[in-house]
Structures are given as structure tokens and as C-alpha cells.
Amino acid sequence: MNVPEGTQTRTLTADLALYGLSGAFAAITAATSTLLPHRAWGAVAAAGYALAAIAVVVQLVTRRSGTRERALVAAFAFAAVALLPMVIQAVQRADGRTDRAQEEVIVIEHGGERLLDHGTPYLSSDTIATLPPGEQLLGYLPYQPGMALFGLPRAIAGEAWWTDARIWFALVTIAALGLAIRQLRWGPTLLRALQIGTVIPLVPLTMATGGDDVPVLALCLLALALCAARRYGAAGIAVGLAAALKLFAWPVAAVLLVHALTAGRGQAARLAAGAIGLPAAALLPAVLVDATAFVDNVIRFPLGEGVVTSPAQSPFPGYLIADNLPGGRIIAGALLAAAAVAIAVWLARRPPRTAAAASAVCGYGLLAAILLMPSTRFGYLLYPVAFLAWVPALRSPA
């Protein structure tokens, strides 16, 4: 089918804006960021975005704007601005650089060591209090037990670039997105969703410097794609794996359960088997070994009740209220709870009957949660952005 010339031009102009603005962000990050891993990412990514933008200009001049050509540029951009900076930082870190990974990479790898040695990735707050002050923050693992699996390669094989947890985050991410693409109809709509979910700076920056959120997001996107294809059992496994890694996937699992109920109790039961069973199976050993340590890490520390304070302090409304108003944490917590109740009422009255509608609920719900959480990060916005970008693609299963 021939695409009208005006549509081709608008599509390529949007691509050029995406790569150009992203490149500007990367250049500014390289020049101004106070976080050294971020500066290192920006220096490499700025060149990658520039090359992608040049490729789009060539497409505009030659009028080659097919989905295949645009997908090749997007794939190059992802490799150049996410995978390449990540590998460079992993290699430099293996060679002795101590400023080439964010704290989450280190704590996950420490969690893998503890899981291998003690059967649980968690230390209790009492144990963390005995650590030197500079190491106390790294003693916490505020994730679900499954996240520690990404630290096992380094715990088993020692320090090497390929044992860096970020490499394994990326492998799971690529595998999950590849499976998701197979469930949906290939075309410009899906390509745009993939561009937003992989190329805009939120994702490559996170993948190159920290990365723990990216496989969680990718598995949730896979679960939504599987729901669009009405493969509810497989969707339950995908979102269950995500929920075994991080709490951010739990609201997604809840929304998908409500969506599956609209297709029948049998479908909901199939989804629930993985969505509930896998996180429970991951939790059980850690709770049996040391339930107190699990609560200290996963519940008390994010709520600000740890030995040290969480560094997740982006200036969103929830953090500003908690930090600046008397009783601010209670107020922010109440607002967050009110938002959760409002979403629950919405789901009860208007359950999402399509995967696209479920993705929209996940996007807007997590956006509200991120804005109202007392401790949050700017990078968490990659979740709602990707979920909302995924909505049009989910309307056309393969």
C-alpha cells in the first residue's frame, strides 16, 4: 500500500524531532549532570542520536520512509544510545572504574551474593546498622527477591563486564520485547510504540546506568501484548515474573486480573496462576529464612524507616509535600491511598475489557502513584510513558 507523501513527511519529521530532541537531552546531560554514570551515558548517546537524526534526514531527502527503513534506524538508535553505553560502562567498571554504575546495580549484585551464600538477599536493619556509614545504603535491597537473580552471575563468576547486572537486565528486556512484538501486528503504530519505549532518553539512560526497571517494564508490556492476543496463561507468567522482581508490577498484575475477569473466570484463573503464584514462590524462601529482613528492606526502607534515607527524592508533589509540610508524610500517604481507592472504584465500575484499556489504566494509575509517592525517582516515569504509548499498538493483535 502506498503511503501518501504528506503522511511520509509528517512521520519522518516526527522521527527527526524524537532523535533530535533526545540528542539535545543527552548532550545537556553529558555537560551538566552531577551523576558521573549519567555524564558518561550522555557523551556516547549524543553521538548515537545525532547519527540516527542524520539517517532520518537522508530518508526525507530520498523519500524512503517505509516501516522497514524506519525500524532499521530505530534499532540502530537503540543499540547506539542504550546497549553501547551500557557495555562501555560495564567494561570500564570491570577494569576498575568505581563511577560507572548507579547504586542499584551494586546492591542487586550484593543481593545475589547473599542469596548464594545465605538463602536470602536481605540484611536486617540491625545488621545494616553495624556496617560503616558509607556502606549502609548499599546494604538495603528494596526489591522483590527475584531481582537478586541478576546478581548471581557476578556472585558465581566474579568481576567481568559480562557479569554486570545491567547486561542481564538488557538480555531479559530484549527477549521480552521480542516476544511482545510477535503478539502484535507489525506496522507504523507498533514501531512508534517501540520507539517511545526504547529510544527516548528515559529508557536508554536507565538501561545504561542502572537498569533494574527496564526488564520489569518489558515483562509488563509482554503481559499486555499476550492479553491482547488472549493468551491469558502466558500473560500471567510474564506479569508474575515482573512482580517477582519489583513492586511496581503488582498494580499491573491487579489491573490485568480485572481485565481477564471480563473474558471469563477461566481466563482469570489462568492469569492468576502465574501473576500470583510466581511472586509468592519467590517470596516464600526469603520470608522463611528471615521475615524481618524482608520487611526491613522491601517495606520499611522505602517508607523512610530505615537506618538511612532512600536517595529516591525527585521533586514530585508527593516528595515536596512529605518534605516541606508538617505531617507531610502522612498527607502524602493519604493522597496516595486516595488515588489507589479512586482507581479501584474505577476498575470496579468500568473494568477494562481490552488490553489497550488495561494499558491505559496502568499508565494513568502509575503516573498518579509516581507523582504522589513520598520517595520517588524521575526515571520511574518510563512506566506510564511506555504503557500509554503501548495503547494504540495493543488494538491490533497479530
Taking the C-alpha atoms of residue 326 and residue 348, their distance in angstroms, rounded to an integer, is: 34
pLDDT tens readout for residues 341-393: 999 999 999 999 999 999 999 999 999 999 988 878 888 999 999 999 999 99
Is residue 397 classed as helix, strand or coil in its secondary structure? strand
16 neighbors 65 (Cβ within 8 angstroms)? no
Taking the C-alpha atoms of residue 24 and residue 52, their distance in angstroms, rounded to an integer, is: 13
Task: Identify the pLDDT of residue 5.
Answer: 61
pLDDT exceeds 50 at position 1: no
CA proximity to 17, closest of 196, 177, 186, 190: 196
Task: Identify the pLDDT of residue 377.
Answer: 82
Enumerate helices (H) and strands (E) in the chain, giving the number of each. Answer: 18, 0
Sequence-ordered list of residues with C-beta below 8 angstroms from that of 392, at least 6 positions apart, any chain? 189, 192, 193, 356
Task: Give the dihedral sign, CA 372/376/382/386.
Answer: negative
Task: Identify the pLDDT of residue 78.
Answer: 98
Taking the C-alpha atoms of residue 86 and residue 81, their distance in angstroms, rounded to an integer, is: 9
CA proximity to 238, closest of 253, 251, 228, 248: 253
pLDDT tens readout for residues 162-181: 999 999 999 999 999 999 99
Sequence-ordered list of residues with C-beta below 8 angstroms from that of 299, at least 6 positions apart, any chain? none
Query: Phi/psi zone of residue 231: left (φ > 0), alpha (ψ -120 to 50 degrees), beta?
Result: beta
385 neighbors 196 (Cβ within 8 angstroms)? yes
Tell me the pLDDT band of 157, cut-offs 50, 70 and 90: very high
Residue 239's identity, in one-letter code, is V
CB atoms within 10 A of CB 237: 21
Taking the C-alpha atoms of residue 125 and residue 327, their distance in angstroms, rounded to an integer, is: 24
Q: DSSP for 216-261?
A: HHHHHHHHHHHHHTT-HHHHHHHHHHHHTT-TTHHHHHHHHHHHHH
Q: DSSP for 143-175?
A: S-GGGGGGGHHHHHH-S-GGGSHHHHHHHHHHH
Nine cell digits for residue 298: 522491601
Which residues does residue 397 pair with via DSSP β-bridges, in sequence order?
184
pLDDT tens readout for residues 200-249: 999 999 999 998 999 999 999 999 999 999 999 999 999 999 999 999 99
